[in-house]
């Protein structure tokens, strides 16, 4: 397997994990109306769901790199703000069963997705 293929598969796997993970939060939000914090009136988990889904589609079709970076960048920004608020006690992120705030995981995943995509694009342009 080539490095480019490995990077592409890693990106797809992370995006699929993100879609699957946020889908549960979105479903909980639909059922209870209280599953995740709101940004204005929009539940943050819905925004983050689309920030996984749209880059997944863009990556699979190998088009729309700008769209990929706009949505991963938006989600990274949300994760940075939410992580800061969680850390300082000014906000509360949904948590995993073990107590880990999901905003910390979003920060890690979206940072990784951006880094992997930049690396992949650089490899393709050589």
What local confidence, expressed as pLDDT, does residue 120 receive? Answer: 92
What average pLDDT does the segment 13-29 reach? 88
Question: Would you state the structure tokens that stand for residue 100, as one six-digit string?
Answer: 């880990």
pLDDT per residue over 56-114, tens digit each?
Answer: 999 999 888 999 999 999 999 989 998 998 889 887 887 888 988 888 999 999 999 99
User: Bridge-partner residues for 43, per DSSP?
Assistant: 38
- Closest C-alpha among 1, 2, 17 to residue 96: 17
pTM score of the predicted model = 0.84
Residues in the chain: 126
What local confidence, expressed as pLDDT, does residue 1 receive? Answer: 65
């Amino acid at each position: 397997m080539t490095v480019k293929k490995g990077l592409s598969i890693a990106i797809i796997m992370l995006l699929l994990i993100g879609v699957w993970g946020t889908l549960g939060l979105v479903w909980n939000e639909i059922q209870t109306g209280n599953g995740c914090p709101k940004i204005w009136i929009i539940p943050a988990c819905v925004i983050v769901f689309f920030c996984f889904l749209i880059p997944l589609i863009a990556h699979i079709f190998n088009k729309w790199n700008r769209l990929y970076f706009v949505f991963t960048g938006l989600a990274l920004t949300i994760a940075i703000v939410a992580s800061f608020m969680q850390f300082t006690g000014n906000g509360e992120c949904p948590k995993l069963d073990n107590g880990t705030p999901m905003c910390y995981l979003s920060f890690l995943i979206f940072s990784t997705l951006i880094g992997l995509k930049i690396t992949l694009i650089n490899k393709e342009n050589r």
